[in-house]
Structure 1
Amino acid sequence: MSSVFMISTNTNVEPYPVYPIGMSVIAGALTQAGHRVFQYDMLAHGESLSALREKIAAFAPDYVGISIRNVDNVDSFTSHMNGYLEKVREIVTVAKEFGVPILAGGAGFSLLPEEILNFIKADYGVVGEGERKMVRLISCLEQGQEPDRIFGPEKGIPGNEIPAPLWSSELLDYYMAESGVVSVQTKRGCEHCCSYCTYPYLEGRKMRLRNVKSVGDEIEKLCGCGATDFFFTDSVFNDKAGHYLQVAEEIVRRGLDIRWCGFFQPASIEPDELDLLKRSGMNAVEVGTDATTDTTMRGLNKGFNYEEVTAFNDLLVSRKIPCAHFVIFGGPDETMETVREGITNMNALKNCAVFAFSGVRLHKGTPLFKRAIKEGLVSSEQPLLEPFYYFSPHLDKDEMNRVITEGFHGRRDRLFPPDEGQQRINIMKKFGFRGIMWDRLIRFND
């Protein structure tokens, strides 16, 4: 069997540092297959290339695995790669000094595999879920075979076979100290059809649900390591089948004293179900509202309307649960009229935060990319390594940005442009606050 040196390349700390569970899941699969694995995190080790070089030399691996979580920060105000992939290329350059194959993967890599592989100059790439493919790829190389340069997507792993990460105690200690939040995934796949989203491509359109007991075991194990605050990283936590309620019941049954947050769709939740979620530790909700009017929700194929957003927000407010809406202006069918209507709508939502973005980051294979081609905004060969943002042809984006800025002026809980929110979070960090932190922007009426 071989030795594999795994590197998490993500050094982004906005809005807070995130434990590299993707790398740890692959590390677990490789370990189970009999390989010797070392997990190295660039952020936790101070982004030092010299320290990386020393660690690789000491481990003497047969292979180096590169995990790429982000390609850019999806902020059109900084319309380039933000140095993300340049840093990855520097890491690959160091790893190449040791003369071993470099294997790249991760959610970010899977969005643009060929372009990224050529840019960072790694040897092989894995698209999509990598637990089994990484094991197969290394097996091929061990046997002297010449595998495809890029292992493409395939049928997803069944839910009851999705493994838990091989948690690193060293990295857990670092991230609990830095952010206070540990991420857990309870399912893969997305049953929704938002026109811009890459989740269906990365994880499939069918929800694959992890065994609830396995999820409970993982959370309980992490609690034993000192974790108290969790974020459920599922594409959407409140799935239609109600698996999320089973997870909440398992947390309550085990008597786990935790706080947690997750991504929600503004769907109907019964009051008793919300009470269950609160008992299980839900202390905040992030909502994929995405658009701000019925017109633009239809343009993004959101599957709900603004009335449902308001009802969902009001329900959370009634239980004093902090809620943050993430919205994008400038998407399909946006006009200056809908921009102004959207600002009014967002400002009317009570006791919540709103994070607003300008323009929709395009990715090939999505319905929005195909629409952009039809509207003459891009060609089918448009390179997307450098971010390209969709803006409705019915508006001027500079005027739109000005109107949004003016519309949210003076609201501490309305954050635009995106770096405005990060500046406020950074201030809270300096005062020693940890966790999601945006919940501190919200005040409930007694």
Structure 2
Amino acid sequence: MSTVFLISANTNVEPYPVYPIGMSVIARALYEAGHKVIQYDMLAAGNSLAHLRCAVAKAKPDCAGISIRNVDNVDSFTSHTNRYVHKAKLIVEALKEAGIPVIAGGAGFSLLPTDILEYTGADFGVVGEGERKMVQLIERLEQNKEVKQIYGRENEIPGDEISAPLWDKQLLHYYLKESGVINVQTKRGCEHSCAYCTYPHLEGHKIRIRPIADVADELEMLCNYGADNIFFTDSVFNDREGHYLQLAEEIIRRQINIKWCAFFQPGPIEKDELIMLKRSGLQAIESGTDATSDATLKGLHKSFTFDEVIEFNNRCVQQRIPCAHYVIFGGPDENMDTVREGIANMNSLRNCVVFSFSGIRLHKGTPLFSRAVREGLLDHDKSLLDPFYYFSPHLDKDEMNAALTAGFKKRRDRLFPPDEGQQRINIMKRFGFRGILWDQLIKFDDISEKTPTTQSLLDSTHEN
């Protein structure tokens, strides 16, 4: 059996450091196949190539795997300075100095496998879910059999066979200290068809649910390690079949004492459902609203209207559940009229935070990429290793950005450009706050649950 050195290349800490569960899921599969596995996190290890070289020399592995979580930071204002794959290239070069084969994988790699493999110099690549393919690839290397350079998409792993990560105690301690939030996946796949989204490409259109008992067992185990703040990383937590409600019921039944947050799609949700979710520990909701008017929601192939967004937000306010809406301006069918309508719409939402972005990072295989090609914005064969952002041809992006800046500048809970929100979160971090943090920007109309210290801090972030 082989000694496998796994590396999480992600060193991004915005909005907060995120435990590398992708690497740990692969570690579990390799461990159960009998291999010796070493998990190495660049962020937790101080982001030092020299330290990495020493760790590899000490471990003397037979091969290495590098998990590339993101290609860039998907911010059209700053992406030219945040090309994460360059760091991955340096890591691969350090690994190859040890004379071992390097296997690349992860969500970021899976979006641009050929380009990233060539750019980084990795020997092999695994696209999509890697648990089974990684085990098979290493077995073939052990047996000196022919190995494909890139292992592409295969049939998705059934939900009841998706295992928990091989949690590393030292890494858990690090992320609990640095962010206080640990991420857990309850399902894979996305049943929606948003025009720009890569989730169906990465995980498939069919929802695959992990057994509720397995997820609850994992939550109990994490609680024993001191984790009480969970972010469910599903593409959309509130699935149509209601499995998320079954999980909430099980958390309540077992009396698992956690606070949690997740991405929801805005839409019909009943008062009693929100009450039960709060009983299970729901602390806040992040909403994939994406667009800000009926015209642009339709352009992104969203399945709801803005009236439904308003109703969803009102339901959250009634239960005093902080809600953050993530929206993108400049998408399909956007023009200055819809921009102004969108600003007014988002400012009309009560007691919530709005994270606004300008332009949509394109990826091949999405309907929006095909539309951009049809509109003559780029060639079909263009490499997207350097980010290309879609902006509707019906507007001037500089005029749009100026309107967004002016439209949101007097609101501390309306964050644009994206780095403004991060600056406020960084201030709260320096004062010792942990968790999702943006919920601290919300003050409900009838009561204030903020302490004077927190409130004064929020005021100072707004002034900054």
Pair in the same fold by TM > 0.5: yes
TM alignment of 1:128-143, pairs within 5 A: 128-143=128-143
Show the counterpart of 1:120: 120
Whether the aligned pair in 2 keeps the contact of 1:71 and 1:81 (CA below 8 Å) is no
Deviation at 1:271, TM superposition (A): 1.2
Cα deviation, residue 410, structure 1: 1.1
**Matches of 1:413 and 1:384, distance apart in 2:** 33
CA distance in 1, matches of 2:76, 2:13: 18
1:49 counterpart = 2:49: yes
Aligned to 2:58: 58
Provide the C-alpha distance between the structure 1 equivalents of 2:27 and 2:244, rounded to a whole number of angstroms. 27
Question: 3-state DSSP class of the match of 2:282?
Answer: coil
Partner of 1:403, secondary structure, is: helix
Give the superposition deviation at 1:80.
Answer: 2.4
Residue 37 of structure 1 aligns with which residue? Answer: 37
Partner of residue 144, structure 2: 144
CA contact (8 A) 2:73 2:83 kept: no
The answer to whether 1:28 aligns with 2:21 is: no
The RMSD of aligned alpha carbons is 0.6
Contact 1:81-1:387 within 8 A present in 2 as well: no
Aligned letter for 2:239? D
The equivalent of 1:171 in structure 2 is 171
Q: Distance in 2 between matches of 1:90 and 1:376?
A: 35
**2:264 corresponds to:** 264
What is the rounded CA distance, in whole Å, between the counterparts of 1:298 and 1:382 in structure 2? Answer: 27
Which residue of structure 2 aligns with residue 180 of structure 1?
Answer: 180
Alignment-mate amino acid for residue 342 of structure 2: G
CA distances 1:322-363 after superposition (whole Å, capped 9, x unpaired): 000000000000000000000000000000000000000000
Quote the Cα distance in structure 2 between the aligned partners of 1:269 and 1:221: 30
Counterparts of 1:40-439 in structure 2 under 5 Å?
40-80=40-80, 82-439=82-439
Q: Partner residue of 1:7?
A: 7
* Residue 86 (structure 1) shift: 1.1
CA contact (8 A) 1:124 1:150 kept: yes
Shift of residue 20, structure 1, vs aligned partner: 0.1
Tell me, in whole angstroms, the C-alpha distance in 1 between the residues paired with 2:145 and 2:347. Answer: 60
- 1:16-64 CA-to-partner distances (Å, cap 9, x unmatched) read 0000000000000000000000000000011011111111111110001
- Give distance in 1, aligned partners of 2:14 and 2:153: 29
Give yes or no for contact 1:81–1:385 (8 Å, CA) kept in 2. Answer: no
> Does the residue aligned with 1:66 lie in a helix, a strand or coil?
strand
User: In the TM superposition, what is the alpha-carbon distance from 1:83 to its structure 2 partner?
Assistant: 3.6
Identity of aligned pairs, percent? 67
Please give the alpha-carbon distance, in whole angstroms, between the structure 2 residues aligned to 1:311 and 1:380. 40
Q: Which amino acid aligns with 1:216?
A: A
Cα shift at 1:147 = 1.3
Report how far residue 78 of structure 1 moved.
1.6
| Partner AA of 1:230 in structure 2 | I
Q: Which moves more between the two structures, 80-89 or 295-304?
A: 80-89
Alpha-carbon distance between aligned partners in 2 of 1:332 and 1:87, rounded to the nearest angstrom: 33
Amino acid at match of 2:152: G
Q: Partners of 1:429 and 1:142 in 2: how far apart?
A: 46
- Preserved CA contact (<8 Å) 1:176 1:227: yes
Q: CA deviation at 1:199?
A: 0.2
Q: Which AA in structure 1 matches 2:312?
A: F
Partner of 2:460: none
Stretches of 4+ aligned residues off by more than 2 angstroms: none
Partner Cα separation in structure 2 for residue 273 and residue 415 of structure 1:
29
1: CA distance between counterparts of 2:255 and 2:236? 25
Q: Which moved more, 1:81-90 or 1:187-196?
A: 81-90
Per-residue displacement from partner, 1:184-204 (whole Å, max 9, x unpaired)? 000000000000000000000
For residues 299-343 of structure 1, give each alpha carbon's deviation from its aligned partner in whole angstroms, at most 9, with x where no partner exists.
000110000000000000000000000000000000000000000
Aligned AA (1:415)? L
Contact (CA 8 Å) 1:62, 1:100: kept in 2 or not? Answer: yes
Q: In the TM superposition, what is the alpha-carbon distance from 1:219 to its structure 2 partner?
A: 0.3
Segments of structure 1 that go 5 or more residues without pairing to the other structure are none
The gaps in structure 2 that reach 5 residues or longer are 447-464
Q: Deviations over 1:199-237 (max 9, x none)?
A: 000000000000000000000000000001000000000
Letter aligned with residue 192 of structure 2: H
Taking the aligned partners of 1:258 and 1:329, their CA distance within structure 2 comes to 35
Once the 2 structures are TM-superposed, how far is the Cα of residue 81 of structure 1 from its aligned partner?
A: 6.1
Distance 2:307 2:316 in 1: 14
Q: Distance in 1 between matches of 2:94 and 2:79?
A: 28
Normalising by structure 1, we get a TM-score of 0.99
Which amino acid in 1 is paired with 2:200? Answer: P
8 Å CA contact 1:325, 1:353 repeated in 2: yes
Contact 2:73/2:79 (CA < 8 Å) preserved in 1?
A: no
Aligned-partner Cα distance in 2 for 1:332–1:324: 23
